[in-house]
Structure 1
Amino acid sequence: MGRNAEIIAVGTELLLGQIANTNAKWISEQLALHGINVYYHGVVGDNLTRVKDMFDNAGERSDVVIITGGLGPTDDDLTREAFQLLSGLNMEEHKLSMDNIEAFFAKHKSTMTPNNRKQARVFEGAHIITNKVGMAPGMILHYNDTTWVFLPGVPREMKPMVVEEVLPFLSREQYQNTIIKSYVLRFIGIGESKLEHELKELIDQQNNPTIAPLAQNDGVVIRLTAKAATEGDVIQLLEQTKAQVLAKVGDYYFGMNDETLESSLLKRLLEKNHQITSAESLTGGKFIEKIISSPGASRVCKGSVVCYDQSVKRNVLNIPDELLINHGTVSEECALAMSKNVAELLNSSIGISFTGIAGPDPVEGKPVGTVYISIYMKDGKHFVEKYEFMGNRDGIRHRAVIKGFEILLNLLK
């Protein structure tokens, strides 16, 4: 049976917006991969009563409570004190942690102030997690049928503790002799709500594996998580469910797990022995930059022309003056000429172009969000389409780039 987790971040700086609570996002992702549900996120400032009240509520409703922050040496680091007020458990100085703290100051040739001894205080009977890159250790303990995990708030200190100690501990505790594995299926060209609608029957019947849709900047993902006694059984469950999912929405599928839009496109271009170039107006090179971010891109990417100004379209891409005068730069005719001319100019088998209006003002009588994307292929395929994207300037440019990847992936399937 699964266990339900809660993540609490302690620190007034989080409430003031001085730093973002990235710890909760990262820990949630790790727990999900291990089949542990996260039902609550909480943030509380450096106030003893409020921290204690937050812990009290968490202990009543969650099987696992993971706390980050408030383990430092200063008076406003109150995580230990709040939990002691709640639990009545005794604290003691952990010798190994104290030795590490003293060694840290000796190494840096600085004087240790007395309040740093506070960081070595731990609850009696707790499982201690060594801090390999900082000073305050982590702790895992049981209290009132809840597993409590205390971790530093600094991500570079917290993350190794989670990976090396916390996740193995929780997995052993939750699933004795059970293997947990996840597939992340990636989709483009379909929204989260439509994807969930298409898979509603499967989601309603889910048990093992579980099916969880999630929207991301570069499309939508579905996470499948299965549990079984052996690796082979887990993979069989995942493969069966993956086949059921793709039978319904396979037209939108482009990759799995760590595969990205750019790596998937790179693979398809290599398979078909294509090379690609881009002519980019409103996207300003964002499309080609995304391709180049993928290792091995030099085998398929010839280059790009960023033709933001009309003179570059005319003088570099050789777009005729007559076309620009009669149809404008934001037009089907201009987009097609850009994609064809950049392919010929840079001697590639595929040319893709982006022209449009990202804002803030309309251009050539066309509203903000108007975008034309064209693809020219030397084997005879031509594509040009008009889109109306919503959002701010950066959002429109990003959506145009993602749409370009979607079109190319579909053409190369």
Structure 2
Amino acid sequence: MTVELISVGTEILLGNIVNTNASYLAEKCAGLGMSSYYQISVGDNEERLSEVLRTALSRSDVVILTGGLGPTEDDLTKEVTARVLNRRLVEDENTKSRLEEYFNDRDKKDITENNWKQTFVIEDCLVLDNSNGTAPGIISKTEEGKSVILLPGPPGEMIPMFEEAVIPYLKGLSGNVLYSRMVKICGIGESKAETMIKDLIDSQTNPTIAPYAKNGEVHLRVTALSATEEEGKSLTAPVVAELKKRFGIHIYTTEEKTTIEEALVELLTKYKLTLSTAESCSGGLLAGRIVNVSGASSVFEEGFITYSNNAKMKYLKVSQETLNNFGAVSKETAEEMAKGAAKASGSQAALSVTGIAGPEGGTDKKPVGLVYIGCFLNGRTEVRECHFKGNRQKVREYTVINAIDFLRTMILNTYKEEV
């Protein structure tokens, strides 16, 4: 089954907003086993939108449009789709009631007449209630049995609507069950990861393996098409087992929604370890990722942002001699930062980062992207030298991900008899 994505909105073409909807929907549809060959962005123009929708319907089984369902004059998606499908727009009483209830909770003077435009839907469609906004979603079928799905543009409205209503609908189209498992990997690059499983990809039939590159991570989705969910589990289990065998400790989870920081907090909790952080170039991003995890307060002791040399000496007891001889960006400084954070907070584990995020400050000996990550655990300290590519934000993000993974793998190696 093929799916095509159409993102509607002149603001997308002008670069005023980042089109996160397309990447989200593409990944979700791939996870459902659907093939996608085209993605299109089109402005708020009736003629051009009609053209791309007709083209999409000529070559795809499912067309998903996002945006252009609001109350203003330039919101044309619903109207254009109705004309392309040769259908009328009719008022939906349920949507009207929901809008009335929505407006009852707001100041009446803020309600304009054009808001009621959103109560009209394409005749003979399936209406998707919007629990996070005012514009409902719509699913219409063509005479040939193809599906046209209209979703609101704001991600806060589109994503829950897609997950709650559209995913079950798409699963029902095939008549089979699509069962998938996600294998998340850190510490191995995309090219190497693909090389390690090239034989599996080349010979795959059912289930299939789809790799996705993330910031500092590689995600492998294993998807099986089966008659039942139990059969899907049986089909994917040996593939997941083989991936675990090949990637080993680099796999931090096989759960769809688990993040690498959640995996670390889980390990810290399991082994009754507390954590402190000492950051220079990451400026608090590392501590921020940790405290994003619900329950992190039970393991996270303290975070130090020691951007200057004076701060490193004052709070972490990095020696003046170390800074003079080796510099702030060095293996020796990272080691002393990690030890100092653990000692100052009384934690059993500590992470330190110091580096050159750029775009300025690099030299031939210490180029932009050079980062040292220190990891202290139960009295033992290790330091990694890393070289990251990208802009300042990318370097900082890669630093944080690699620091989290460093401690995660160090814990697993230390407690390997119990894992």
Normalising to structure 1: TM-score of the pair?
0.88
The 5-angstrom pairing of residues 78-227 of structure 1 reads 78-101=76-99, 108=106, 109-110=108-109, 115-116=114-115, 118-143=117-142, 144-175=144-175, 178-227=176-225
The 5-angstrom pairing of residues 335-374 of structure 1 reads 335-359=334-358, 360-362=360-362, 366-374=366-374
**Paired amino acid for 2:200:** L
Larger mean CA deviation between 223-232 and 183-192 belongs to: 223-232
Could you say what the CA RMSD is over the residues aligned between the two structures, in angstroms? 2.7
Structure-1 separation of matches of 2:364 and 2:31: 50
Structure-2 separation of matches of 1:158 and 1:179: 24
Offset of residue 212 of structure 1: 0.7
Structure-2 separation of matches of 1:376 and 1:73: 56
Are residues 316 and 204 of structure 1, via their aligned partners in 2, closer, same or farther at CA, if it must alter by over 3 Å? same
Q: Determine helix, strand or coil for the equivalent of 1:67.
A: strand
**Paired amino acid for 1:46:** D
Cα-to-partner distance string for 1:176-221 (whole Å, 9 max, x where unaligned)? xx33222111111111121111111111222222211101124111
The 5-angstrom pairing of residues 1-400 of structure 1 reads 3-101=1-99, 108=106, 109-110=108-109, 115-116=114-115, 118-143=117-142, 144-175=144-175, 178-257=176-255, 258-359=257-358, 360-362=360-362, 366-379=366-379, 381-400=380-399
Gaps of 5+ in 2: 413-419
Structure-2 separation of matches of 1:409 and 1:100: 48
Structure-2 separation of matches of 1:164 and 1:324: 55
**Paired amino acid for 1:260:** T
Structure-1 separation of matches of 2:266 and 2:388: 28
Structure-2 separation of matches of 1:344 and 1:269: 18
Offset of residue 105 of structure 1: 5.1
Give the structure with higher Rg (CA): 1
Cα-to-partner distance string for 1:137-186 (whole Å, 9 max, x where unaligned)? 332222134211223334444344433433222222222xx332221111
Are residues 125 and 411 of structure 1, via their aligned partners in 2, closer, same or farther at CA, if it must alter by over 3 Å? same
Are the counterparts in 2 of residues 184 and 223 from structure 1 also a CA contact under 8 Å?
A: yes
Q: What is the percentage of aligned positions where both structures have the same residue?
A: 38
Offset of residue 246 of structure 1: 1.8
Offset of residue 100 of structure 1: 4.5
Are the counterparts in 1 of residues 79 and 89 from structure 2 also a CA contact under 8 Å?
A: no
Offset of residue 8 of structure 1: 1.1
Structure-1 separation of matches of 2:398 and 2:134: 44
Structure-2 separation of matches of 1:226 and 1:75: 44
Structure-1 separation of matches of 2:356 and 2:406: 20
**Paired amino acid for 1:152:** P
Structure-1 separation of matches of 2:78 and 2:168: 24
Q: Determine helix, strand or coil for the equivalent of 2:37.
A: strand
Offset of residue 103 of structure 1: 5.6
**Paired amino acid for 1:348:** S
Cα-to-partner distance string for 1:108-134 (whole Å, 9 max, x where unaligned)? 435976655543333332223344454
**Paired amino acid for 2:274:** Q
Normalising to structure 2: TM-score of the pair?
0.87
Are residues 76 and 276 of structure 1, via their aligned partners in 2, closer, same or farther at CA, if it must alter by over 3 Å? closer
Structure-1 separation of matches of 2:270 and 2:102: 53
Are residues 84 and 270 of structure 1, via their aligned partners in 2, closer, same or farther at CA, if it must alter by over 3 Å? closer
Are residues 369 and 156 of structure 1, via their aligned partners in 2, closer, same or farther at CA, if it must alter by over 3 Å? closer
Structure-1 separation of matches of 2:26 and 2:80: 24
Are the counterparts in 2 of residues 218 and 261 from structure 1 also a CA contact under 8 Å?
A: no
Are the counterparts in 1 of residues 4 and 56 from structure 2 also a CA contact under 8 Å?
A: yes
Are the counterparts in 1 of residues 189 and 216 from structure 2 also a CA contact under 8 Å?
A: no
**Paired amino acid for 1:325:** N
Q: Determine helix, strand or coil for the equivalent of 1:37.
A: coil
Structure-2 separation of matches of 1:352 and 1:106: 52
Are the counterparts in 1 of residues 206 and 224 from structure 2 also a CA contact under 8 Å?
A: yes
Are the counterparts in 2 of residues 70 and 152 from structure 1 also a CA contact under 8 Å?
A: yes
Q: Determine helix, strand or coil for the equivalent of 1:38.
A: coil
Are residues 110 and 251 of structure 1, via their aligned partners in 2, closer, same or farther at CA, if it must alter by over 3 Å? same
Q: Determine helix, strand or coil for the equivalent of 2:36.
A: strand
Structure-2 separation of matches of 1:350 and 1:132: 43
Larger mean CA deviation between 94-103 and 66-75 belongs to: 94-103
Structure-1 separation of matches of 2:173 and 2:17: 33
Q: Determine helix, strand or coil for the equivalent of 2:277.
A: strand
Offset of residue 363 of structure 1: 6.8
2:417 maps to which residue? none
Offset of residue 331 of structure 1: 2.2
Structure-2 separation of matches of 1:17 and 1:238: 40
